[in-house]
Amino acid sequence: MQQVILILFGWVLGVFSSIILENQKRKQAKEDYKESLFTELDLVYPRIVSTYYAIIKEMGQLNKENLEWMHNIISKKNSKSLGTIDEAIIKILKCKDKEIKLLNKKLQDTRTLSLKKFNLSFLQENISSFSLLDKEFRFDAINIRTNINYLNDSIDKVDFFYKTTFVPDISENNYNVAYMNIKNYYINIKDLCKRTSEMIVNI
């Protein structure tokens, strides 16, 4: 009887040990996944903020409201690669409104930006590991990924309409339509950069 109890106890102990070990492995996998995800977001975040800055300069929207937002978002999530931009922003914010308006004047109304798409390869390639994350974190990560996809799509559209302006014998009307589409997608990119930056800072 005692031997049977010992065998049963050993079996129960083995089951619980397996459960504990499996939970530890899952917890470690979750921490490793989150750490890798944070690393990727830390890398893409400065590029998103820099793109926002380039867009508002291109659109002639350098103003205290946009610049103060940039300064605040940079101060919330420090990044060495944004140091130079933040220094420039601080200097501009010390200027008077009239002086800031002069910075928005362009010599000609042409598209000059060369925008690069954003890559979240780890997040895309490890989507199956989303189940490791808690519900709220998973929701935030999905929203960031969705916004990045929208950003990349808008950047593709800007590139398409920019190339359209070089079509031989393009009519003035079609040129103006293409350029108007570029400006509209600039607005999309600006808004998406702002929302996505805030998501990354608050995740």
pLDDT digit string (tens) for 111-129?
A: 557 899 998 877 776 666 6
Confidence class for position 107, pLDDT limits 50, 70, 90: very low
Residues 125-145 have pLDDT tens digits of: 666 666 677 788 888 888 999
- What's the whole-number average pLDDT of the chain? 82
* Least confident interval from 40-44, 104-108, 193-197: 104-108
Q: Name the region of 42 (left: φ>0; alpha: ψ -120 to 50; beta: rest).
A: alpha
Between 66 and 114, the more confident residue is 66
Rounded Cα gap, residues 92 and 84, in angstroms: 13
> Taking residues 87-96, what's their average pLDDT?
91
Across the chain, the runs of DSSP E, i.e. the strands, are none
Which residue is listed with tokens 């917890």? 27
Write down the pTM of the prediction: 0.81
Average pLDDT over residues 87-92: 92
Q: Using CA of residue 86, residue 88, residue 94, residue 100, what is the dihedral sign?
A: negative
